[in-house]
Amino acid sequence: MAAKVLVVDDEIEMTSMLRNYLTREGYEVETTNSAEAALECLEDHEADVVLTDLRMGEMNGMDLVRAVHASRPETQIILMTAFGGVETAIEAIKAGAFHFVAKPVKLPEVGVLLTKALAERDLRHENRQLRQAVKERYSFGQLLGKSASMQRMFALLERLATTQSTVLIQGESGTGKELVARALHLNGPRSRHPFVPVNCAAMPEGLLESELFGHVKGAFTGAEIARKGLFQEAAKGTIFLDEIGEMPWGMQAKLLRVLEQRQIRPVGSDREVDADVRVLAATNRRLEAEVQKGNFREDLYYRLKVMMVRVPPLREHPEDIPFLADTFLQRYTAEMKVGPRRFTRETLNCLETYSWPGNVRELSHVIERAVTLCDEEWIREADLGLETDPGALAGAPGWPPTLAMTEDASNLNLDQVTERLVIAALERSHGHKGRAAALLGVHPRTLTRMMRRYSIPEDADAEGG
């Protein structure tokens, strides 16, 4: 469909010349000889671009720019004039014009400006649609929640999204820390540029430095070519440093330098490279406690905590559980193309009273499993696959287990006692590592390390992961 251009000039020769040229270029063209007539024309005809003279009758081109911009902000405006210079151009752009062109106009220049104006209009339109879709579908990004605590967090995120500040996101596993980071990126000024997530716990220090900052050819054995790091891959966008509490000590100092100087140094290079990137970081640890233990740099902690978001665990906003469960139910029934599914009252009671140690992620997985395995319309409590609540187990009779102080038991060392407790927790939770970790009061990753230390086999059940 041809783009529509309205040409406004009190010189008939000019409007005629522009009409002929733009028509040949494939545009639909309307012309008027005054600003007042242009506004009347716009009442009946849409225009993608208004090309207007500055000096006309009682209402000049600058007045027309302001009027069109106020009533039709999606319409692009190009101002033409034989008068004025830089000051006039600046005033026109401030008033809402896309660009300014000097008379006598060069027709190819007008053609180029129209192409750019339409591209800018399309981009703005796409951005508006994307923002509206994100807002309508996800509440804030992919984050969901009607509770007061979640609404407060959304309000904070909305304010932080428009800034360039480094943000530290704190919360338990499964609360949605990466979703918070993505929402900040998508709703911020860098949304058109890359979002690059990095798991700081997944790589040793040497590899992590090369991954983040890149390396030059010959920097180390196997570095046969130079390689950009993830900071450069995220240029003008956002880099998300997940599990920053696991970052090796030496890398913490290098990250602090990047945050302060906004420059990186590739491994093996003696030159700095600008790092035009927003940094978001997340952790499920209490970094203040890690600082006191000597595991995390105090200067980096204070540099990160200037802007901090705490994502509440699901147990702190249980009123959101029915809303979240229903949202996940609709999502998975649509994805799997199955018939309608509903929760029985008993099922909802079970969902609302469970402690959700895995937070929203666990709730999502439980609903996905139920939709996958349930062949009937009504999803019953048994379909959820939830075993005894770890929150209830922790205070239940028989937990924690007691070790009979026989002669052999009294000779057990700390490692042997710990191994027996881990095995007991896994048996009590039927191999579900998340619940076993909750019983022991440790993080699931800590439990995994303990299992490896004591050569305890991994549970083959997918739910145990």
Q: What is the DSSP string of 283-297?
A: ESS-HHHHHHHTSS-
Predicted confidence at residue 461, as pLDDT, reads 40
Strands 214-215, 227-228: parallel, antiparallel or unpaired by DSSP? antiparallel
The model's pLDDT over 308-320, given as tens digits with 9 standing for 90+, comes to 999 999 999 999 9
Predicted confidence at residue 268, as pLDDT, reads 79
**pLDDT confidence bin for 134, thresholds 50/70/90:** very low
The model's pLDDT over 417-454, given as tens digits with 9 standing for 90+, comes to 788 888 888 887 777 776 777 677 666 667 887 888 88
Q: How many CA atoms lie within 13 A of 49 on its CB side?
A: 27
The torsion angles phi and psi of 83, rounded to 5 degrees, stand at -115, 155
CB 302 within 8 A of CB 252: no
306 sits in which H/E element: none
> Which tokens hold the place of 127?
């951005």
Question: Is the torsion defined by CA of 162, 133, 234, 445 positive or negative?
Answer: positive
Predicted confidence at residue 428, as pLDDT, reads 76
Is it the case that residue 87 has pLDDT exceeding 90? Answer: no
Q: Output the CA–CA distances (angstroms, integers) from residue 339 to 24, 294, 324, in the order listed.
A: 55, 55, 19
Is it the case that residue 405 has pLDDT exceeding 50? Answer: no
Maximum alpha-carbon separation in the chain? 111
Is it the case that residue 396 has pLDDT exceeding 70? Answer: no
| Residue 324: closest CA among 283, 365, 284 | 365
CB 12 within 8 A of CB 1: no
- Overall pTM > 0.75: no
- What residues contact 215, with CB distance under 8 A and at least 6 apart? 223, 226, 227, 229, 266, 267, 268, 269
**Highest mean predicted confidence (pLDDT) among 63-67, 386-390, 414-418:** 63-67
Predicted confidence at residue 86, as pLDDT, reads 65
Q: Which domains does the chain have, with CATH numbers?
A: 4-127 (3.40.50.2300), 141-310 (3.40.50.300), 314-386 (1.10.8.60), 395-464 (1.10.10)
Is it the case that residue 402 has pLDDT exceeding 60? Answer: no
CB 231 within 8 A of CB 213: yes
94 sits in which H/E element: helix 86-95
**pLDDT confidence bin for 302, thresholds 50/70/90:** very high
Instruction: Pick the range with the lowest mean pLDDT from 85-99, 163-177, 239-253.
Output: 85-99
The model's pLDDT over 157-190, given as tens digits with 9 standing for 90+, comes to 999 999 999 999 999 999 999 999 999 999 999 9
Predicted confidence at residue 208, as pLDDT, reads 87
Question: Is the torsion defined by CA of 228, 231, 236, 237 positive or negative?
Answer: positive
Rounded-to-integer distance, Cα 388 and Cα 14, Å = 82
Q: DSSP H helical segments within 337-413, as ranges?
A: 345-353, 359-373, 390-393, 407-410
The model's pLDDT over 152-165, given as tens digits with 9 standing for 90+, comes to 999 999 999 999 99
Is it the case that residue 385 has pLDDT exceeding 90? Answer: no
CB 378 within 8 A of CB 366: no
| Residue 279: closest CA among 315, 248, 234, 247 | 234
Is the previous residue joined to 401 through a cis bond, with omega within 30 degrees of 0?
no
- Mean pLDDT for the chain? 84
**pLDDT confidence bin for 304, thresholds 50/70/90:** very high
